[in-house]
Structure formats: structure tokens, C-alpha cells
Amino acid sequence: MSDVLVVGGGVIGLTIAYELSGRGAKVTVVDSGRPGREASWAGAGMLPPGKIQPDQHPGHWLRACSAERWPKFSDQLRELTGVDNGYRNSGGLEVRFAEQAADLQREITFWRAEGVEIETLDRQQLLQFEQRISPKLDAGYHLPGFAQVRNPRQLQALMAACASQGVQLLHGTPVIGWEREGERIVAARTGQGIQPADQFCITAGAWSRGLLDEFDIQPEIEPVRGQIVLLNMHRPSFRHVIQIGSRYLVPRPDGRILIGSTEEWVGFDRRTTAEGVRDLINFALSIVPSLVDVEVERTWAGLRPGSPDGLPYLGLIPQTSNLFLAAGHFRNGLQMSPATAFLIAELMDGKPAPVDLSALSPTRHG
């Protein structure tokens, strides 16, 4: 019997399994499909900076704690598995056209209050950072601590690391119900039989809500489609991640560029669409006009687990003593995965949370 059964093999579930198995727990991960092939695989791997502060909002704490952990975490995975997840500090530029610049100062004030290194930029200074960007951009700021990883490599490294630490990975194994004794969950019922364990954690992303139907809570986790376009210049073109709000360009060292991403509440529909791809390409050309003749290599979409406030649900499910939830990270699952895994492992070990979790409670929306 496992000490912990993790239900969902995306980046959150696998990182929790890696953290727990590293602490000596016997862990099994079950996934209805192939581990790591949903939203975790589809993202762009952006890792914004952060500094842990006293009385920090838990959403900011997850980002800041993860930012501090990512360098060592990546080194550990590479040493353990030989897989390079592509972690690098590329720096990030947040940019605006003149008509969009109103909220820029608010963001600058926020980063400075957190103690994050930041440099404000005017039009000419932006062009000095990246010569290819549009001269029509009016202002922005530079975050030197902005990093990135390559999602598929991170998932590959996590699966190999989990296996090396004795984690059992079961694919094609959907959970269809629970065996209970009072407030204690004793087993998960799956399409492949009963899976008993001492503790359980639901990390099934956009599919997590359906696993809680028999309980008295319904966290408002909904699938949000995010389409991405991959360009290939076959050589490096620019260095920094470039963002305008939720849209971004992420350059890879091999000359590939990810353009993302849409936010579409269309249920469990993974299709890419002409409209979505067109809008992303038009966005990219408005930022870097010279991309107009670059090859479109691929397009794809992922279903991110959205919540009404954009924050994850983390903690113990009420009326149970050993069932935890870690889902609803929306666009930030990979980014926040190291801190989420640490937090859930601490809770499962019976230790107090290092931050006030009330704003992330599984019951906060009903």
C-alpha cells in the first residue's frame, strides 16, 4: 500500500510526488491519460521573479517561494536524471504602446515593494534592450530575474526523477470514486481497481472538480483553453521574454519563439482555431515586426485549470482527514509547482503552513 496516492500526473502532481518521495514516502501517481500531457506540457515555461516577504499574500508567496527554489530544483533534477530542463535566466520585458501604458506604474510599484530588481525603460531604452522590437512601443520595464524552462523537458525530468525515487506512475487509470471510513479516505476506486493509501492528493487540473462530486464542496475549477503558436527562426533572434499583460513572446536558444496565449472559456475543447492563431500572430508582429516571414512550425492548445480569482485551491478537503487538493493554478501551474509541492508535503507531514492559506482554501467559493 502507498503512503500517498496522487491523482493527476501533471506538473503539480509529479512535483508533489517528487517532493514526498524525497522525504521517504512511498508514492503512487495515477492519471486518466498519459502523465504530463495536458496543460503542463502545453505552456511556455515562464518563471517570473519574486522575494518572500512577511505577511505576503499566499498567491504572491507561491510565486516568490518558487522563484527562489527553481535554480536548485533544476540542478537537482539534472544531477539525478541527466535531463536538462532548459532553465535559464533570460530576463523579461513588460512593454506597452502609448494607449496601454496606464497600468504600468502600478506594476512597477508592486515589484519594487516586494524588493524585486526592476528597471524602468522609455522608448529608446527598450530598443537598446531588444533592437527587433517595434519602435512604436512607448514604455516598459525590465525584470533581470525573469527565467524560463522548457515544459516538455521539465516533465521528462520529473517523470525520470520520480521513477528513480521509487514513485509508481500509472497511466490510463482514471479515479471514479472513493472508499471511505468516516472522515478517512481509505482507497480510490479506479478503472483498474482499488488503490489504497494513507493519504491522497487531487492534482488533476481542469478535471479536479469532477473528483469531488461526492463531497460537500465544489471548487470552481473550469477549463480555460490557451492556444499557442510556435515559430522557428532557426537561429536566436532576441533574448528576453516580452510581455504585454497576458500575451507573450518567449524566445528559445535554438531560434524557436512561442507566442501565447489565448484565454477561452469553451469547456473541454482542445482545438486550435483560425481566429486564435491569427490573433496571436498579429500580436507577435505588432511587437516584433520582422517576424512576418518566419516559419510557423506548430500550433497547439492546452486546457488550464481556471478559478474565479485566478488562484489555486490548496489544502485539506473538509469532512475528511487525509484528502488534499492542489489544483486551479490557471496559468501558473509550472511556475508555482516547487512551492506548491513543498506546501502540500508540509501539510501532509502535519506541519503548520508557512503562509496563511485562507485565501487559497478549497471552500472559499462555496
Per-residue pLDDT of 71-112, as tens digits, reads: 999 999 999 999 999 999 999 999 999 888 778 999 999 999
Q: Can you give the pLDDT at residue 99? A: 80
More confident residue, 342 or 38: 342
Sorted by sequence, the CB contacts under 8 Å of residue 210 that are 6+ apart come out as none
User: What whole-number distance in Å separates Cα of residue 68 and Cα of residue 70?
Assistant: 6
Beta carbons within 8 Å of 350's beta carbon, 6+ residues apart: none
DSSP one-letter string for 63-122: HHHHHHHHHHHHHHHHHHH------EE--EEEEEEGGGGGGHHHHHHHHHHHT---EEEE
Mapping DSSP to helix (H, G, I), strand (E, B) and coil, where does residue 209 land? helix
pLDDT in tens, 339-353: 999 999 999 999 999
- What domains appear along the chain, each with residue ranges and CATH number? 2-85+150-221+308-360 (3.50.50.60), 89-146+222-306 (3.30.9.10)
Arithmetic mean of pLDDT, 149-169: 96
Residue that has been written with the C-alpha cell 528576453 in this structure: 240
pLDDT tens figures, 7-16: 999 999 999 9
Q: For the segment 295-319, what is each residue's pLDDT rounded down to a tens digit?
A: 999 999 999 999 999 999 999 999 9
Which pLDDT tens digit goes with each residue over 90-100?
999 999 998 88
Q: From residue 98, give the alpha-carbon distance in Å to each of 130, 184, 243.
A: 18, 57, 15
Q: Is the pLDDT reported for residue 362 higher than 80?
A: yes
pLDDT tens-place string over residues 189-200: 998 899 999 999
Residue 14 CB neighbours (<10 A): 29
pLDDT for res 42 = 77
Nearest to 237 by CA among 255, 224, 225: 255
Task: Determine if the pTM surpasses 0.85.
Answer: yes
pLDDT score for 366 = 64
Distance CA 192, CA 174 (A): 8
- For the chain, give the percent of residues with pLDDT over 70: 99
Instruction: Tell me the mean pLDDT in the region 60-79.
Output: 98
Task: Name the band, by pLDDT with cuts 50, 70 and 90, for residue 36.
Answer: low
